[in-house]
Chains A and B, each alone.
Chain A
């Protein structure tokens, strides 16, 4: 339902999903009460909101262009840093360490951000300028201060959003960003245990243009996964070759120490000793299941890798080595 769009009506509401009507993309909003985004993923926090009948039944729906108006009337904090990653490589660990501090707003893999970035694949008439304006508006809406202690604002993107780095950089040219990556064998082993959406053939087919569904379906899971990882990483290499300013490459092997040292330096922030202790305490737990303690699994993953994984990882090794060279040279 459409309501008059007074900015104050949206003060404790968050854009949670993009949906389509004949005249273009719309935003679905959720009332947040006092919930912060502390869960490993944006959607986990939102699903928790559905327990509240008001949040469930009463939802604003606005055209995407409303985001721009809201940005002018009620701007959010400017983003402090962006986190990109190849998946299964420690990005959730960093976002959970950041979310442990009340001064940080951490938006982790928010579906509306991915949807806005992909609007042009659904409607080719949508221009880069429109996507940039919507992305700026959406990031601003998600970064509005709801608690007085909030000072910093981080966005962790979906892994495949590196394909849109160019648009994201044009929307936020001054925001420092990091890319986390890991030995491809270990990532493929993890994906074969439980695949992310991007690793299911046909789900995000724009990741592998030039292949039809039959070709994707015939491929082994390991090969499909390797091709997607290669594309994600290549997009980062291409972006850094074009414009490496504000970029920092971080290998999984540098974690968790790098999270509270070089990453924070790169984001131009410093935390107190107490805050660092809080962040490091969060790092002791498994990021995706915080009720469990974190156990390093590099050795286990390498031992689990069969021939198919090692052969598929060969496809990604070239770009992985390129990332390593870039990281160690900087």
Chain B
């Protein structure tokens, strides 16, 4: 993920975390593929540019951070 994309995704994530109505559109699906599609669509609607691969990269980064924080 490029620095620009990461900044984009982080800003999108911060917006979602500060808004319950945005969260409710993403949180209550159980299927990961459907969730990824909705995250992409919502990001696009709100003017944030990132791809499905960027979401995968963000997932991998989150796992890495979780492991590092545990050590």
Contact = CB atoms under 8 A, between A and B. Distances in A.
Interface of A: 1-4, 8-9, 17, 19, 28, 31, 33, 51-60
A53 B35 contact: yes
B64 interface: no
B1 interface: no
A3 B17 contact: yes
Nearest to B15: A3
Determine chain B's interface SS by DSSP, over half rule: helix
Given A1-B17, A9-B18, A57-B55, A17 B27 contact: no
B46 to A, nearest CB: 14
A9 B16 CA distance: 10
B28 A57 contact: no
B30 interface: yes
B18 A3 contact: yes
Contacts of B14: 1-3
Contacts of B69: 17, 19, 28
Contact of A57 (B20, B29, B30, B62): B62
B10 A56 contact: no
Contact of B18 (A4, A17, A19, A51): A4
A52 B62 CA distance: 13
B16 A58 contact: yes
Nearest to B28: A33
A56 B13 contact: no
Contact of A56 (B17, B28, B62): B62
Interface in B19-71: 20, 23, 26-30, 32, 35-36, 39, 55, 58-59, 62, 66, 69-70
